[in-house]
Structure 1
Amino acid sequence: MNTITLTEINERIIYKILHLHLYFYIDIERGLDMNLKGPMKEFYSELLKHIPENIKEENVTNFLDNVIEKMLNETTPIMVDDLRKSQGEMLEDQRLLRAEFEARLHRRWSKPLALLETLIVISLESSEELYKENISIAKSKSNIKFEVLIKIHARACQISYEILALLRSGFADGAMTRWRTLHELAVLSFFISQNDNDVAQMYLDYEFIERYYEMLEYIKYAPILGYSELPKEDIDELTSKRAELIHKYGNEFEKPYGWTLNVLDKKNRNFKALEENIQLDHLRPYYKLACNYVHLGPKASSFSLGNIEGSKIIIAGASNYGLANPGQNACLSLTQITTCLLTSYPTFEALMTCKIMDKFSSEACELFVEVQKQIELEEDNYIDELEINERFNCHH
């Protein structure tokens, strides 16, 4: 079998091996002249020292694999130390860029974002007042619906603040995914409000069914994850509670959406059926859009709310565009959830608050759309100007 010297090694083999390991192409003959810096230059220099002067061609791949694997283990700590030394400056630059971006975004979107925040504050304060005034009455009359609506509303306020934070930072897709949950809570609020105490109790009891099946997953994977075993008494208690609920409500109760069995048909127990039952299914197109950013479907990788239609940019961070859909949807859903709660014990003040929130919500929706259309108009004008300049340059 022929042997070859270092300078005769097939460059394509070298390229392939180094590209697989280092994710960049390098020329074995001129590697030290490629402006490599710091640890990478040291890595390359050391690599050359380990390659024998004479080597069989068929052994090049295996040889370099072994050498590179060994050297990666040795040089990784060097690169980590180098990054630690420079991370302060690097992060300071990035934080400055982000602060400047968020300041520009705030100037453009300040009015609708302020209205969204106002809605959240009104919702929080009005529900707190309602809770203080009626919790004793609700407990004395075993008003389970009120308990459920309070829990839903508290979670909705938290999610609304999350949406606000994401919008302020320019993450429209993320805000849309959180609105997806807010919409689910709105649907749940209407469903609980429109049905009796038994449905509300079944909803609360269904938590034990979820916990039981979560427990089974934990038991299965705890050894792999290195987690401790669950105490036997905890397993027995949850297993017993599940059996008790199945005996009380029937075998259908432990199935998905089993807590709706008194209302929804057996073959139609799912979230879509809930939407249709309370006539909120007209928002389903937005819900399906939001699902793209939660699950692993391909659309989320090719379509982003932060991208203007026709743009070929792949967004890997924040954008000042696309806040309209999640913003206005959040206003709408929070208002719906708050209305369900406030009307559980209606007073003149509570009804007035519902009207005020509806007014602010409508105004915020209009402003979100207005700002987004203004960005689209500016983009169109910019493209037109570029095309005019291009035609002008072609003629001269």
Structure 2
Amino acid sequence: MLGKFKRSRQVDDDFLTRTIEEAVLKKVQNGFDPERVGELISKAVPELIDEMSPQLAASLMKDNRRLRAVKRGDRKYDRRLQKRWGRALDLYVLIHTLCAELGEKTAHKERDGLTPTQEYTLEALTGLHVSACRVAGEVLTLLSHGHPRGALARCRTLHETAVIAGVIADSASDSDHSDLAERFLDHEIIGLRRDARQFQKDHATLGEEPLEQAYLDELDRKYNEVITKYGADFKREYGWAKKFSPNDNLRALEEKASLSHIRPHYQWASSEVHCGARGLSRNFVEYRGIVVRDAGKTNVGLIDPASMALNSLMQVTFSLAVEGAPEGSDFEAVLCMRAVDEIRSACCNAFIDAQVEIDQAERKILERMQRKAPKL
């Protein structure tokens, strides 16, 4: 692909230099002191850039050859990736579809006479399941187009969703903490008020109109209500879980949900979310004996994000359809989850098989390259 770009006629790399030289030469011919060329250039360059950049942008936008080449390359790459990983990705689609259907069926069951606690629990778990299905679909899209690290970043959100769904489902039958779902839903106002106050502070810089004072007053009223109801600790990020877990943070909730063993994968995924030095080292990959910076697509590394995403999606689905169901788990839901788990095992094996095939093909290529390499 890079070779095609080099052979195609793109914007001349010497365009700006040539333009400056022509302008300077014209000045000298008109009697300008040659010894003051440096001064002339230092003054002319900013003005020249201001003048020429719109013309350059217009030229680039008119020439569609680069864009067509990139799109053509992407399509070819996606077809090759599908050929290698198609079976595994198809099973991922099946699991995602089954979980979504089971969640929808559970959420739309006819239920009469639910207690407020049961209604809060069902509302919270349904909302979390909807989010999990959407994010799992985003993971699938990223994997299908060669972006496993982007998929891993979304797995971080899925893990957090699985943890929260797990503790809410577990607390539903606990008389001491049966209000956890209500607390979780009421905590929305904390984030809304925080975001609104930040926007109000920065709206002028953003070029936006300020929020209406009546809206801000209403947020303050609701905020004061929940702080009065639950206490000052409720304003913390996981303040809704303070009563359930005195250490109101995700790590403590992972322990409560029996998901603390996922912490290493979660931290790995976090390095793809936050822009820290730790994540930069992951940009280096070895390709056929050469260490390169990976700035684009790759057809390896799909196993971990796929496995992490499916596990989290199934945990959220289980929390909604089995553990957190107001009437208790039923035979059909348990049977469906067991069947989905069987498919998950087959899916993970398919991902592993695809990676093994790629590794074997790469070894053969390296062996051929070594045979053809000149002997010293």
TM over 0.5: yes
CA offsets, 1:79-137, max 9 Å, x none? 12211220x22211111110000000001001110011001111111222222214555
Aligned to 2:347: 364
Aligned to 2:300: 321
CA gap of 1:83–1:40, structure 2 versus 1, over 3 A, is farther
Q: Equivalents in 1 of 2:70, 2:300: separation in Å?
A: 20
375-384 or 287-296: bigger deviation? 375-384
Q: Which has the larger radius of gyration?
A: 1
CA gap of 1:284–1:141, structure 2 versus 1, over 3 A, is closer
Q: Equivalents in 2 of 1:309, 1:337: separation in Å?
A: 40
Q: Name stretches of at least 5 consecutive residues in structure 2 with no aligned partner.
A: 1-11, 173-177
Aligned to 2:361: 378
62-71 or 170-179: bigger deviation? 62-71
- Relative to the length of structure 2, the TM-score reads 0.87
1:38 shift after superposition: 5.8
1:72 to 49, 57, 73: 49
Q: Percent identity?
A: 28
1:220 shift after superposition: 1.0
Amino acid at match of 1:159: V
Give the number of aligned pairs: 354
Amino acid at match of 2:375: C
CA gap of 1:53–1:383, structure 2 versus 1, over 3 A, is farther
1:180 shift after superposition: 0.9
- Relative to the length of structure 1, the TM-score reads 0.83
1:48 shift after superposition: 3.9
CA gap of 1:131–1:139, structure 2 versus 1, over 3 A, is farther
Q: Secondary structure at the match of 1:303?
A: helix
CA offsets, 1:238-275, max 9 Å, x none? 1111111111111111122100111112xx22111111
More RCO (CA 8 Å, sep 6+) = 2
Aligned to 1:9: none
Aligned to 2:8: none
Aligned to 2:253: 274
Q: Secondary structure at the match of 1:394?
A: coil
2:309 to 323, 326, 330: 330
Q: Equivalents in 2 of 1:308, 1:138: separation in Å?
A: 58
Q: Secondary structure at the match of 2:179?
A: helix
Q: Secondary structure at the match of 2:258?
A: coil
Note the aligned Cα RMSD (angstroms): 2.3
1:152 to 124, 128, 137: 128
Amino acid at match of 2:266: Y
Q: Name stretches of at least 5 consecutive residues in structure 1 with no aligned partner.
A: 1-34
Q: Equivalents in 1 of 2:311, 2:284: separation in Å?
A: 19
Aligned to 1:6: none
**Residues 20 and 41, structure 2, Cα contact 8 Å, conserved in 1:** no
CA offsets, 1:341-379, max 9 Å, x none? 110332211111110111111111122122223322322
**Residues 138 and 146, structure 1, Cα contact 8 Å, conserved in 2:** no
Q: Equivalents in 2 of 1:356, 1:232: separation in Å?
A: 53
Q: Equivalents in 2 of 1:135, 1:376: separation in Å?
A: 52
**Residue 223 of structure 2 corresponds to residue 246 of structure 1:** no
